Amino acid sequence: MMSRIKWHRSDSIGSTNTYLRELNGGDPAYDYEVAVADFQTAGRGQKGNTWESEQGKNLLFSILAHPKGIKVQEQFYISEAIALAVSDAVIAAAGPEYAAGFSVKWSNDIYYKDFKMAGILIENTLQGSSILDTVVGVGLDVNQEVFVSDAPNPISLKNITGRDYDRDALLDDIIARFIGYMELDTPSQRAGVDELYRSRLYRREGYHKFRDAQGEFDACIEGIRPDGCLMLLTRSGDHRVYEFKQVQFVLDLKSHPHHLGEPVR
């Protein structure tokens, strides 16, 4: 049976995540609800960050879902599902010649090479040991060419390929892929999603620079725990485990083209 989707569209909104959260579980006649806006006046990112978006150029949307059989300790699966849905869709839109450049930066930012094209904010409502509702918010840079905020490394699909994209078609593709991942319910299917997520990780091979509360260090990614924690192995052989925002990827972006007000090609 096809999933029932209720759409909420707006030219301008405070925050699509806030809008859906205030529905208090949403309409029981629908499996998913999607709020999409051309502009957000109070768009939010992780830990209070904001998201720059030129009106009518990008995708700003949130999805209200009611996960089936996802325990609290398994909630990272939702992060994997939306990160893969977005990355699948942008890889398909950009074309095979660009596919190798896309990755998922732990925990769920979408990157092209060393540049960020999408940020994701997930807010779960718990009921006992399970996830009752989840609101998944996405900001995806699609057709914007020049970025003026102090964000260090933004990039859009148009920056990458030079082409304009149909935002509605891209959104439909992302929603369909996300629902597809969320409807998988056997252990083997979920394990396959875990494996695909890990295979698409940014800096998944070799040693790279990271920074934690003690300073910078070189490490390689050992894996991701079921609860979403990042496991690193330092050059000196130390095994370290981090929750989100406890460690940063150190990027060298001194020559970022956006600092010159030019699109990236």
Average pLDDT, the chain: 91
- The owner of tokens 């009752």 is 132
State the pLDDT at residue 51: 56
Chain segment 19-65, per-residue pLDDT in tens: 999 999 999 999 999 999 998 887 655 444 555 778 889 999 999 99
State the pLDDT at residue 255: 47
Which residues does residue 32 pair with via DSSP β-bridges, in sequence order?
A: 5, 65
The pair of three-digit structure tokens given for residue 199, joined into one six-digit string: 């295979």
The residues, any chain, with a CB within 8 Å of residue 163's CB and separated by 6 or more, are 157
State the pLDDT at residue 102: 98
pLDDT confidence of 18, banded at 50, 70, 90? very high
The residues, any chain, with a CB within 8 Å of residue 25's CB and separated by 6 or more, are 66, 125, 132, 133
State the pLDDT at residue 256: 46
State the pLDDT at residue 253: 73
For residue 166, the tally of other CB atoms under 10 A from its CB is: 12
**Model pTM score:** 0.91
CB-side neighbour CA atoms (13 Å) of 86? 33
pLDDT confidence of 252, banded at 50, 70, 90? confident
Backbone angles phi and psi of 239, in degrees to 5: -95, 125
Percentage of residues in the chain having pLDDT higher than 70 = 91
Mean pLDDT score, 11-19 = 93
Mean pLDDT score, 214-227 = 96
Q: Is a pLDDT exceeding 70 seen at residue 83?
A: yes
Instruction: Please check whether residue 175 is in contact with residue 5, taking contact to mean a CB–CB distance below 8 angstroms.
Output: yes
Q: Cis (ω within 30 of 0) for the bond into 107?
A: yes
Q: Is a pLDDT exceeding 70 seen at residue 265?
A: no
Q: What is the DSSP letter of 263?
A: -
- Domains annotated for the chain, with CATH where assigned, are 5-203 (3.30.930.10)
Instruction: Please check whether residue 131 is in contact with residue 77, taking contact to mean a CB–CB distance below 8 angstroms.
Output: no
For residue 182, the tally of other CB atoms under 10 A from its CB is: 25
State the pLDDT at residue 29: 97
**Strand order across the 208-212 sheet:** 239-242, 230-234, 215-224, 208-212, 248-249
Q: Is a pLDDT exceeding 70 seen at residue 119?
A: yes
How far apart CA 206 and CA 221 sit, in angstroms, is: 8
